[in-house]
Amino acid sequence: MNLLDPQGPVAAANSTILVDSVFIMLAIVVPTIFAILAFAFWFRASNPKAKFQPDFVYSGRVEMVVWAIPALTVILLGGVAWIGSHQLDPAAPVPGTGSPVRIQAVSLDWKWLFIYPDQRIATVNTLTVPAGAELNFQLTSSSVMNTFFIPQLGSMIYTMNGMVTKLNLRADNEGKLQGLSAHFSGDGFPDMMFDVNVVSPLAFPDWVATTAKSDAVLNEDSYKKLMQQGVEKGRPSYRLDDPRLFDLIATQHIPPGPGPELASEAGRSHSGGHDAR
């Protein structure tokens, strides 16, 4: 999950903004550190050349240096952030090769459900995508707010109950990446990790065909069992019975989960309620 080892164009742009911002800030931090050391050395008690000027109050040149350098730094940082944030709009298209892949992600307590509506399959805690293809994500939550983040692909983004968030990414190189939840959501939060398998465009249809032969079926009834609170240790896959399942979740036709509950009586009495959302 190395932020400085991007595997897609969005993550590469994020990495560039981060590195550029650090160097811009070093332009004021490094001279300031050297100035502190130089002033301390020059105005030491044993230096007879240092002039003692108790009546010194104002210098236009000093004021210009003191204010101009930080002002330029803020302008440069603001420009980098402004331009970068608009260019990296999560919903902006990310051109790729071949047909785009539509993926619907649902954050559960405490697992990730990935639905491929066009392929009529679904997986839990594992995401398989073809290299080079545009990935069109639609994200929502089954209960509390959460955060979807694949560090080496970029764009951390929130998932919220009753709301659909769009995110476009692309993975350029084959390999295995790691995704995670970046927003605390209860006891099982540390285990809300998922694998991201980037395969070749030719291998992706084979994976879809194999997954579609799964004996497990994902429908409204099996989803309600899946959304029960708990950590999923395996990587189950499903045949998707109803391609409208994500819409039913996002529009709350399937009632949302209760969210993490405080386990101890002391916690309930301290919070003044029976659950924390």
Please report the domains of the chain, with CATH numbers, ordered by start residue. Answer: 9-88 (1.10.287), 101-251 (2.60.40.420)
Tens digit of each residue's pLDDT (9 = 90 or more) over 225-263: 888 888 888 899 999 988 899 999 999 888 887 776 654
Residue-wise over 108-139: b if at least 16 C-beta within 10 A, else e?
A: bbbbbbbbbbebbbbbbbbbbbbbbbbbbbbb
Q: How does DSSP assign 188-228, residue by residue?
A: TGGG-EEEEEEE-TTHHHHHHHHHTT-S-EESHHHHHHHTS
Contact residues for 61 (Cβ-Cβ < 8 A; gap 6+): none
Tens digit of each residue's pLDDT (9 = 90 or more) over 39-54: 899 888 888 888 888 7
Tens digit of each residue's pLDDT (9 = 90 or more) over 100-119: 999 999 999 889 999 999 99
Contact residues for 110 (Cβ-Cβ < 8 A; gap 6+): 181, 185, 186, 187, 188, 189, 191, 192, 229, 230, 231, 232
What Å distances lie between residue 277 and 143, 228, 258, CA to CA? 8, 16, 8
Mean pLDDT of the chain: 87
pLDDT of residue 125: 94
User: Residue 244: which of 211, 208, 219 has the closest Cα?
Assistant: 219
Tens digit of each residue's pLDDT (9 = 90 or more) over 142-153: 988 999 999 999
Is the pLDDT at 76 greater than 50? The verdict is yes
Q: Is the dihedral of CA 37, 40, 46, 47 positive or negative?
A: positive
The answer to whether the CB of 174 falls within 8 A of the CB of 199 is yes
pTM of the model: 0.80
